[in-house]
Amino acid sequence: MDKKYYITTPIYYPSGSLHIGHCYCTVAADSIARYKRLRGYDVKFLTGTDEHGQKIEEKAKAAGVTPIEYVDNIVTGIKQLWKYLKITNDDFLRTTEERHEKIVQKIFTKLYEQGDIYKGEYEGKYCTPCESFWTETQLVDGKCPDCGREVKLVKEESYFFKLSKYQDKLEDLFTNNTYFVQPDARRKEMLNNFIKPGVQDLCVSRTSFKWGIPVDFDEGHVVYVWLDALSNYITFLGYDVDEQSDKFKKYWPCDLHLIGKDIIRFHTIYWPCFLWSLGVELPKQVFGHPWLLTGDDKMSKSKGNVIYADDLVDLFGVDAVRFYLLNAIPFANDGTITYDLVIDRVNSELANTLGNLVQRTISMGNKYFDGKVSNKKVSEDVDTDFINLINGLDKKVENCMEDYHISDALAEIFTVLRASNKYIDDTTPWILAKDEAKQDRLETVLYNLLESIRVCGSLLLPFLPDTSCEIHKQINNKKTDLSYLEDNSYELGQPSPLFQRIDKDKLDL
Ligand code: MSP
């Protein structure tokens, strides 16, 4: 069985601090990476920063510093943010690192030498925030069709990549491979809006600014930022144009590029053509996730509605923020975030459903059996469905995670947690406790509950890592099985609340 798994996030522009919307992708990728590790995969998980380009050059100039001084500072903040959110990336690639720049230069030269890159003159429109070229017909009301901002007229000597050469291959890929782009609606959108009308050669160097990787055989040209940026997915693995590292041979092709919906075109049209040209296999899948909005609006500094992850973590804790993010974007639709929505979710699901269940169960175990609980096997009908539910959970989570329905996987776990609370209501342990003859039944009930908490706690690890560890600590569990065990035993620790209920009125928001 193929047990390696390579997953990437986009590399972020360090043009300003990242907001909670940016964090969505990294937290989602982290939960997938953790999930695959839990399933025994040898995982490589990469994130990083995309540090070149006109936008960064302009920002640095406005701040009165050099571009590298400008990005160094922001990148330090981004690395801290990922630590804060408990992100388990194996490496962090900066496109200003030598290991990357050197290879991008070699890639550019190779493509030039084999005739896939040629010199010409570019005249057209450029959107600096998106670092993307547009033809007159692609503009919407004269503005960038992606972000709606002003575009600039650019006229300069440039190198072009022969995208048009790959027209047929692209049509074939988008028609016959329904796995490559997900969700499927995005595949159809790319095929109908960008590929069928005919792809045009792509400008891959710039001369009107300096902050980029120099084309080493033609002074004054720097590599267009998307060719530079996309290459990170292979340079990180030690790809070289002539000889491949063991790491590259082992982990490429990438299993998943997880990205936002706005950059699907670059990843599914440009990137495959660059790879074909290099003779490198395509990544197996590109998943373009929807966006996180504040209320109904796009987050933007000018609207003053930007939410930052570290502020939320300070208030609610890291797992509450991860939980909100992972639930916020259902598979195919944009999600929304506000402080009120986070509070409601923490209170109802984390504090009530999960927190109360764990605290009540451990408290009863301590009160009635001094914390020592084993299976007395005094079963009743109500147990059968409950145990079946626990035993079915592992497979259900696996099915959801197979096609990256993360919020559905969490919903399955919470269905079992809710059923566990209902099991307490149905079996009424506090009444059993009053009857000397029902002690073994009482212990069986608590045992079943602890098994449910143990299995749910284990399956929560990829999503809520701290909470999962805390649950296992409180129930003193060392077992890794993901199904109900007949002959486990518990020596419980002391319960302490996993999540505090948040009183909106006491927060100064
Ligand atoms: N540097 C490029 C990516 C190069 S990958 C080879 C870039 N950077 S970015 O910083 O502008 O965006 C990074 C990611 O953040 C994108 O996937 C984008 O979709 C995502 N998001 C930005 N705002 C977002 C939300 N509000 N919600 C969810 N994701 C969002 O593009």
| Closest residue CA from atom 21 of ligand 1 | 22
CB 390 within 8 A of CB 452: yes
Percent of all residues in the chain with a pLDDT value above 90, rounded to a whole number: 90
From ligand 1's centre to the CA of 10, what distance in Å? 7
Contact 474, 494 (CB under 8 A): yes
Task: Inform me whether the pLDDT recorded for 1 exceeds 60.
Answer: no
Determine the average pLDDT of the residues in 504-509. Answer: 79
Beta bridge partners of 92: 47
Tell me the pLDDT tens digit for each residue of 95-130: 999 999 999 999 999 999 999 999 999 898 999 888
- The pLDDT, as a whole number, for residue 302 is 77
CA–CA dist 5, 14 (Å, integer): 27
Ligand 1 centroid from CA 131, angstroms: 12
From 7, 22, 324, give the residue whose CB has the most ligand 1 atoms within 8 Å, as the site to mutate: 22
Q: Give the residue, out of 227, 263, 289, 297, with the most ligand 1 atoms within 8 A of its beta carbon, to mutate for a pocket test.
A: 263
Mean pLDDT of 336-353: 96
- The atom of ligand 1 lying closest to the CA of 12 is 10
pLDDT tens column, 154-190? 898 999 999 999 999 999 999 999 999 999 999 999 9
Report pLDDT for 508: 72
Strands (E), 89-161: 91-94, 117-127, 132-134, 152-161
Q: How far is the CA of 259 from the centre of ligand 1 (A)?
A: 7
Say whether 134 sits in a helix, a strand or coil. Answer: strand
Residue with CA closest to ligand 1 atom 13: 12
504 C-alpha to ligand 1 centroid (Å): 31
For range 143-152, the mean pLDDT = 90
Residue 348: pLDDT band with limits 50, 70, 90 = very high
> Which amino acid residue places its CA nearest to atom 19 of ligand 1?
260
pTM as predicted: 0.95
Other C-beta atoms lying within 10 Å of the C-beta of residue 469: 13
Q: What pLDDT score does 179 carry?
A: 96
Q: What is the mean pLDDT of residues 349-371?
A: 98
Length of the chain in residues, anyone? 509
Where residue 138 falls among pLDDT bands split at 50, 70, 90? confident
Q: How far is the CA of 240 from the centre of ligand 1 (A)?
A: 27
Q: Is residue 318 over pLDDT 70?
A: yes
pLDDT for 505 equals 84
Residue 309 to residue 315: CA distance in whole angstroms: 10
Tell me which residue has its CA closest to atom 2 in ligand 1. Answer: 12
Question: Which one is predicted more confidently, 506 or 180?
Answer: 180
Residues with CB under 6 A from ligand 1: 10-13, 21-22, 24-25, 50, 229-230, 259-260, 262-263, 291-292, 299
For residue 18, report the distance from its CA to the centre of ligand 1, in Å.
Answer: 9
Distance 360 CA to ligand 1 centre (A): 42
81 by DSSP, 3-state: which?
helix
Nearest partner of 206 among 165, 164, 163, 155, judged by Cα: 155
Nearest CA to ligand 1 atom 22: 22
Give the confidence band of 136 by pLDDT, cuts at 50, 70, 90: confident
Position 257 pLDDT exceeds 90: yes
Task: Name the pLDDT band for 2 (thresholds 50, 70, 90).
Answer: low
150 vs 153: CA distance, rounded Å: 10
Ligand 1: centre distance to CA 262 (Å): 7
Give me the pLDDT at residue 433, please.
Answer: 98
Q: Is the pLDDT of residue 330 over 90?
A: no
For 444-469, the DSSP string reads: HHHHHHHHHHHHHHHHTTTTSHHHHH
What pLDDT shows up at residue 500?
Answer: 92
Q: How far apart are CA 488 and CA 93, in angstroms?
A: 44
pLDDT of residue 304: 85
* Residue 102 to residue 95: CA distance in whole angstroms: 10
